[in-house]
Structure 1
């Protein structure tokens, strides 16, 4: 598939002509509300097999072949050219599709009561592209019982599509992650044993295959207690035919203090069947405007992770959302940024007639606009270019797969490129 960035004066019809595909197909693939309305800087996925390259000044067949990872001879043969011929500027070259890589795909789902039909349909639609569906979240109580989320028919829909259902267990209490609750679960053996037994019973009843611990904001001093908790969990769950996994915050060293001090990457890698890296939230609701998952920062986390954990156990985390910050920006204002899906961000740029910019260092799209009340906004989100950059990182480090937070946020280009670049394993 091709990624095309809209330039000034272009129309969807003209873009379609350039690639030999109808504008209706481009509109359908990118789920455009109105095909007559696009904006400069908007990244579109062109639904073709392979891609095209237009020769730029100074380019040679060798340089172009190297860029796309094919031989000069093959590139010349496909395009009916001489290996030693001169390339005229503007010549359109066909680039064949690259071989696909096998990966696992895990997506979180967070149903709210009552379970919406829209979310159910999204699960049904995306299940063919998933290996795991992670139900967020079951909340342990102080006595070892579980507060269960509304799940409706979601697990059965996923299972029917060959997806393994994952039971997410978090330390949420009163809508916030509680270090005190986690500590109690770590040190009280009676409560802990009751919790493990309840988890196994729920897993059997629903059909969960993996138990996924998402414990956050833990006390640094609870590091070894958490490791022991996971070891005991694995010993209890493995005989029941359950795997165990954890969500890891983004660390770049083995720091034992601070916000992530309790998280021991090496121990999690030894104990767990797999881990997911929460490589997002550099830009968050109370931060200054910035990319949510800037590529250089994500890379640092991945580099550290694979130094501690076998890459075949590591999922790269990916946000399916961005943020719209309004002035005065946090933390000065105390007003949180508004979360929005990539599709909502593009529609916002179209509706405000604002060109989309791209930060090539962070590999992230962004734009600014002024609303009807004269308030200035800055938006950072994800697009086809940014997700392809993460996919390339996943391939570079031979990671097990990718994890998404979360289903229900519209980002059609992600799913198109995922299918184009990877074969999703069904386990």
Structure 2
């Protein structure tokens, strides 16, 4: 028995909206508002279909949009926007209706290159994004054809499509095409009744010319200069062959309003530049979680920090900023990402490089889980893995600061699980170790440690006539001795351990190394690092 085609007619829910918005043949559940140049899209739609990184801050009635080269702040009912810290006029303001914010289309077109086509008849809006390929066709049937809700003649009818109407083809399902009319209606018609005519490619967004940023010839070789009060006497700093970046710890969060304390020194910069070093000054959160959360909480305080960094960079002729935020509340991790998203385009506009420090992965909410590593790496030029403190100062057991297998596991976690590009990943290496003491007491083993420069273990070995042995488990040289009834244990940081780390840089084709910190090392180590880093991958 032959089944007759359905004659039932229906009106889809989306056609009951004043201005339905469609993307790739799907309708959004909330209507747009306005028309033509005054058209505005729901913020929820923007976050779902255009850019999930768009941030809303209700406290200041603000929406912040960030792209590779732009930072835009919109405020409700304001006819201007802040674009890269400059005030620019808007054709239409952001508007609030009920609980929903509506974003003007002119800024969306400029930032994302979206193509919005509004039907003069139905008011429906068809949205397309850069790079999309659209297939257009017409019917080959004289008297037109029914547009149905599904792929089959038994499905209800939405409307009748005349022969000469241009239709958008989305996909084929069981011999039927899912198509869309320019008035917005989406449904199915037999593929045999469609003639494909043209393909249209939505143009890519035009971006501003990129200011060239420095790149090392070969691997990055960076060290941190730890500045606590005054800067070092540069005349006493020995040569560091192969070094190309130095990062003095100059800028620190001072309060929850985003004010920064500066220890920067123009003479130090002059010395560094005379040696051919790039200066990427470090900015820290002072490792204060409450203050950090307050400073990151709003656009105003984040931008205040960024504006100070831009001013410092100009004042001291810096080439980059190294972001070192640690010991934070886990809930503030997304705000750190937002800070980088707002900072990087503004620093890039001045030719500055942005790097960010992250710890190895662990179970700590405040020291490890605060970092959304893929999101941070997507924004920054470099991500520096601080691959040390496997066994930290108050660790309940003795062990290496950074055993080679642990370092490699930490690297592989970033490369394989988080998909961090190796060209962005820098391996942080320690220029220090710890002397561990173990003492048996009535309550069990008492463990203590003291961090020391590389020189200290070497002198102990010489003075006590110790003989280091290679510890295969840690991949390092190891010594131990007993003193005052306590067992002293040292996993050595020396040429052997540093060379093993540089082998990992080559094995995984990483961007280079960063060492904590200058002054802890044996001076002869620089020549070894230079020689090993310069080897071809």
* TM-score normalized with structure 2 length: 0.55
Q: 1:277 to 1:352 in 2, by over 3 A?
A: same
Q: 1:256 to 1:383 in 2, by over 3 A?
A: closer
Q: Any idea what SS the aligned residue of 2:371 has? A: coil
RMSD of equivalent CA atoms: 2.7
Higher relative CO (CA 8 A, sep ≥ 6), structure 1 or 2? 1
1:140 to 249, 253, 257: 253
Are 1:131 and 2:240 an aligned pair?
no
Q: How many angstroms does 1:146 deviate by?
A: 1.6
1:204-230 deviation digits (Å, cap 9, x = unpaired):
111111111100122222222221111
Q: 1:222 to 1:402 in 2, by over 3 A?
A: same
Aligned-partner Cα distance in 1 for 2:490–2:314:
44
List structure 1 segments (4+ residues) > 6 angstroms apart after TM superposition: 329-335
Q: 1:424 to 1:355 in 2, by over 3 A?
A: closer
Match of 1:418 in 2: 529
Q: Any idea what SS the aligned residue of 1:301 has? A: helix
Aligned-partner Cα distance in 1 for 2:351–2:440:
49
Please identify, of 142-151 and 266-275, the stretch whose mean Cα deviation from structure 2 is larger: 142-151
Q: 1:424 to 1:138 in 2, by over 3 A?
A: farther
2:218 to 102, 118, 122: 102
Q: How many angstroms does 1:115 deviate by?
A: 3.5
Q: How many angstroms does 1:111 deviate by?
A: 2.6
- Name the count of aligned residue pairs: 315
Q: How many angstroms does 1:256 deviate by?
A: 9.9
1:67-117 deviation digits (Å, cap 9, x = unpaired):
xxxxxxxxxxxxxxxxxxxxxxxxxxxxxxxxxx93111100113434343
For structure 1, the residue ranges without an aligned partner over 5 or more in a row are: 1-100
Q: 1:256 to 1:375 in 2, by over 3 A?
A: closer
Are 1:351 and 2:463 an aligned pair?
yes
Q: Any idea what SS the aligned residue of 2:312 has? A: helix
- Highest Rg: 1 or 2? 2
Aligned-partner Cα distance in 2 for 1:110–1:399:
24
1:8-54 deviation digits (Å, cap 9, x = unpaired):
xxxxxxxxxxxxxxxxxxxxxxxxxxxxxxxxxxxxxxxxxxxxxxx
1:304 to 391, 397, 413: 413
Q: Which has the higher strand share?
A: 2
Aligned-partner Cα distance in 2 for 1:115–1:245:
22
Residues 384 and 413 in structure 1, CA contact (< 8 A), matched pair in contact too: no
Matches within 5 A, 1:197-236: 197-236=307-346
Match of 1:264 in 2: 372
* TM-score normalized with structure 1 length: 0.68
For structure 2, the residue ranges without an aligned partner over 5 or more in a row are: 1-216
Residues 224 and 247 in structure 2, CA contact (< 8 A), matched pair in contact too: yes
Q: Any idea what SS the aligned residue of 2:481 has? A: strand
Residues 292 and 381 in structure 1, CA contact (< 8 A), matched pair in contact too: no
1:185-205 deviation digits (Å, cap 9, x = unpaired):
211332222211111111111
1:108-156 deviation digits (Å, cap 9, x = unpaired):
0113434343x6532x511x42121111141122232221226463222
Match of 2:300 in 1: 190
Matches within 5 A, 1:14-413: 102-117=218-233, 120-122=235-237, 125-126=239-240, 128-142=241-255, 143-149=257-263, 151=265, 153-172=267-286, 177-251=287-361, 259-287=367-395, 288-307=397-416, 308-328=419-439, 337-371=449-483, 373-413=484-524
Residues 358 and 364 in structure 1, CA contact (< 8 A), matched pair in contact too: yes
Residues 438 and 448 in structure 2, CA contact (< 8 A), matched pair in contact too: no
Aligned-partner Cα distance in 2 for 1:256–1:333:
25
Q: Which has the higher helix share?
A: 1
